[in-house]
Amino acid sequence: MATQRAARTNDEADHPSSPVLQFGPDKPLKLDAGTLLSPFQIAYQTYGTLNDARSNAILVCHALTGDQHVANTNPVTGKPGWWEVLIGPGKIIDTNRFFVICANVIGGCLGSTGPASTNPATGKPYGLDLPIITIRDMVRAQAMLVDHFGIEKLFCVLGGSMGGMQVLEWAASYPERVFSALPIATGARHSSQNIAFHEVGRQAVMADPEWHGGKYLDFGKRPEKGLAVARMAAHITYLSEAALHRKFGRNLQDREALTFGFDADFQIESYLRHQGMTFVDRFDANSYLYLTRAMDYFDLAADHGGRLADAFAGTRTRFCLVSFTSDWLFPTEESRSIVHALNAAGASVSFVEIETDRGHDAFLLDEPELFAAINGFIGSAARARGLSL
């Protein structure tokens, strides 16, 4: 079952279950690394119908280990879409009303060009021959997809974590194309601590002998142990001490007493091992390296002369930022500094901090206050945009 899924992931890289938009040599993707990516492709999902005025489009940006299957059953895992609690017919982001687009990021592994995709120059997977991808590169590619739909201005761009970084980049790079922006549980730059956690993850992948210098797919291998450890470490940062204690405490796993060995005595150990194991079935290890790097490189202020407010100078986009009290990956202060920059730029901005012990991952969960904020913000933006109810 697991190997079947792994094989499925490899298939998805070149021949995804999603629609694919291909860009030939005439339309290369200009990368921040200074090179061109060509040809390349974007795999995406859409929901709902684009109206005649093309004014009801919402772009959803996914997080580090997310994908384009935001509101449909995931073809690899068979699980519901990662934001189905929020998006769908009659939901808060109502697909009867809005045209929702979600694309796999460049550097990902579910159909958009990434390290697991076949390099047309060699006929083999790119591996580490793929240039480093940045958040801005991802957004540039998304803009080409949005062009393809003939959409001049997106009604809303939203996303959490790495998705939130893309939202901020969209607002900074294409202010005239974003009517409203909803960055959740994110930051305008990756902190030193976050880079540190990512580096631990990358080193775990690269220390796995099955990684083969990044060429594991050529050998029919996968650095599963390394990637699982990376996921385990990262997963801890997505939760909070309070939530871990509430869920697991020091409870033992299927046993009455400590075994005086290194088995998973504790429930938390068993839980993390499970998280690691299921992750490697659906994710490419090199993709994990590329996407964590993209987040590390993100520093929106540095791209605008060191002053974050300048990234948003003159913006007419309506912003709503959301943070969670127990998120220690992107603490509230990160959102607040964006809010201050937006204030200085004279932007229209709302900011909600939600009290929860569920940590960073709260943005993916059924959080009534989050939904109330999104509902209020989208509703008032829709009225301002003249979208009928």
Partner 1 sequence: MSVNRAQRVDLEVVTDLIPAKSRVLDVGSGDGVLLELLQETKQVDGRGLELSQRGVNECVARGLSVIQGDADTDLKFYADKGFDFVVLSQTLQATRNPKVVLDELLRIGNCAIVSFPNFGHWRVRFSLLIKGRMPVTKDLPYSWYDTPNIHFCTIRDFVNLCEELGATVEKATALDANGQKIGLSMPWWFWNFFGQQAVFLLKRA
Contact between residue 115 and residue 291 where contact means Cβ atoms under 8 Å apart: no
Kind of pairing, strands 318-324 and 348-354? Answer: parallel
> Which backbone phi and psi does 20 adopt, to 5 degrees?
-130, 135
- What's the closest the beta carbon of residue 356 comes to partner 1, in angstroms? 12
**Could you give the CA distance from residue 215 to residue 207 in angstroms, rounded to a whole number?**
14
**Under the criterion CB under 8 A, does residue 357 sit at the interface with partner 1?**
no
Nearer to partner 1, 118 or 375 (CB): 375
**Under the criterion CB under 8 A, does residue 94 sit at the interface with partner 1?**
no
- What's the closest the beta carbon of residue 129 comes to partner 1, in angstroms? 45
Nearer to partner 1, 33 or 344 (CB): 344
CB contact set of 323 (below 8 Å; sequence gap of 6+): 184, 185, 330, 331, 332, 334, 335, 336, 351, 352, 353, 354
3-state secondary structure of 345: coil
- What's the closest the beta carbon of residue 315 comes to partner 1, in angstroms? 12
Write out the binding residues for partner 1, residues 292-351 only, by CB under 8 A.
318, 320, 339-340, 343-346, 348-351
E strands, the chain, are: 20-23, 29-30, 36-37, 40-47, 57-61, 87-88, 93-94, 99-103, 118-119, 124-125, 154-160, 178-184, 318-324, 348-354
- What's the closest the beta carbon of residue 74 comes to partner 1, in angstroms? 30
Nearer to partner 1, 146 or 322 (CB): 322
Contact between residue 222 and residue 296 where contact means Cβ atoms under 8 Å apart: no
**Could you give the CA distance from residue 63 to residue 68 in angstroms, rounded to a whole number?**
10
Q: Which residue among 17, 18, 55, 161 is the active-site one?
A: 161
15 is catalytic: no
Nearer to partner 1, 294 or 354 (CB): 354
- What's the closest the beta carbon of residue 246 comes to partner 1, in angstroms? 22
Burial class (CB in 10 A: 0-12, 13-18, 19+), 71: buried
Write out the binding residues for partner 1, residues 359-388 only, by CB under 8 A.
369, 372-373, 375-377, 379-380, 383
CA 333 vs CA 139, 186, 328, 354: distances in Å: 25, 10, 10, 13
- What's the closest the beta carbon of residue 147 comes to partner 1, in angstroms? 30
Q: Which residue among 67, 137, 296, 327 is the active-site one?
A: 327
**Under the criterion CB under 8 A, does residue 353 sit at the interface with partner 1?**
yes
**Could you give the CA distance from residue 322 to residue 101 in angstroms, rounded to a whole number?**
21
Nearer to partner 1, 6 or 344 (CB): 344
327 is catalytic: yes
Nearer to partner 1, 70 or 347 (CB): 347
Q: Say how many residues touch partner 1, by CB under 8 A.
A: 25
SS3 content of the chain, % helix, strand, coil (to 5): 40, 15, 40
Q: Which residue among 303, 323, 360, 361 is the active-site one?
A: 360
Q: State the greatest distance between any 2 C-alpha atoms of the chain, in Å, as a whole number.
A: 67
Nearer to partner 1, 77 or 375 (CB): 375
Among 154, 354, 364, 387, binds partner 1 (CB under 8 A): 354
CA angle 41, 43, 48 (to 5 degrees): 135
**Could you give the CA distance from residue 323 to residue 29 in angstroms, rounded to a whole number?**
32
69 is catalytic: no
- What's the closest the beta carbon of residue 166 comes to partner 1, in angstroms? 22
**Could you give the CA distance from residue 92 to residue 87 in angstroms, rounded to a whole number?**
6
Binding segment (CB under 8 A) for partner 1, from list 188-196, 262-270, 297-305, 353-361: 353-361
Residue ranges binding partner 1 (CB under 8 A) = 318, 320, 339-340, 343-346, 348-355, 369, 372-373, 375-377, 379-380, 383
Annotated catalytic residues are 161, 327, 360
